[in-house]
Structure 1
């Protein structure tokens, strides 16, 4: 299954009096998709948290209010601009948003883990073979991510796909 994510430009986070960080929520759609909290320093990007939401704006707002651990992780990070990167899921005919964004979230978690990012939400999950195609956001995110099938499942090819780097 091929899935598409349209990434917007990174949205800067700023310090807030009532919560640790906040952002311009008007830049975030109320559509299904995935998001990444992290920091940008020069040309590099460090991911701290990968998530998904059926209503992205509401889900990201919940993190600012309720996820103190993540916000402290961002606050204590090295130099750089703290950002949230928002990827809107673009459904093809017959694709179910909830299922697809779960697959995309796991693909991104696996990608950043394989690159050595210190994610707050590290999860062990059995992953099926799918590809995720990303557009937008320049060179900060992978264009295509491949997942492998869990052991014991038959594959359409003789070799298992590994996450793209």
Structure 2
């Protein structure tokens, strides 16, 4: 009897940088608080902190973090969502992605972003962006001289 094998892809390391207080952000203004953000590939979160708890308000990914975060701070709906969230400190956290070998960072960033959004939804956080929470399913249908047994007639591939 053959044993199932677990195959691991490359390890994804998120190197988190010092958080930035964005409680006073205003739409369409100059944002000097983000000038020191690295322009590397990574993920970023806008959070609301209250006590020892955090609530994710937005999750994003970028091939150039500083550039993308500056764009987001000029997005009226997002800034209003952050400003209008419940009381608490508004924080921006960001991490650069580090991987071994020649792994495709963009592909994995997309998956990391989707995972963070999914976790925020599971926690019922007041997350602004709910995209990337659709799962695609392919159905494999066994037909013809298929004989029911150990393999189901329909097999589902979730992507």
With normalisation by structure 1, the TM-score equals 0.70
Unaligned runs of 5+ in 1: 128-150, 155-165
Could you tell me whether the CA contact under 8 Å between 1:7 and 1:87 is conserved in 2?
yes
Cα pair distance change 1:114/1:17, threshold 3 Å: closer
Q: What's the counterpart of residue 53 of structure 2? A: 44
Q: What's the counterpart of residue 42 of structure 2? A: 33
Unaligned runs of 5+ in 2: 1-8, 137-154
Distance in structure 2 (CA, Å) of the matches to 1:21 and 1:82? 18
- Displacement over 6 Å in runs of 4+: none
Of 13, 24, 47, the residue aligned with 1:4 is 13
Of 116, 124, 127, the residue aligned with 1:116 is 124
Where in structure 2 are the equivalents of 1:55-94 lying within 5 Å? 55-65=64-74, 67-94=75-102
Distance in structure 1 (CA, Å) of the matches to 2:86 and 2:123? 18
Q: Aligned to 1:120, what secondary structure does the other structure show?
A: coil
Could you tell me whether the CA contact under 8 Å between 2:37 and 2:65 is conserved in 1?
yes
- 1:114 deviates by 0.6
- 1:23 deviates by 5.6
**Which has the greater radius of gyration?**
2
Could you tell me whether the CA contact under 8 Å between 2:25 and 2:73 is conserved in 1?
no
Q: What's the counterpart of residue 103 of structure 1? A: 111
Distance in structure 2 (CA, Å) of the matches to 1:116 and 1:21? 32
- 1:105 deviates by 0.2
With normalisation by structure 2, the TM-score equals 0.73
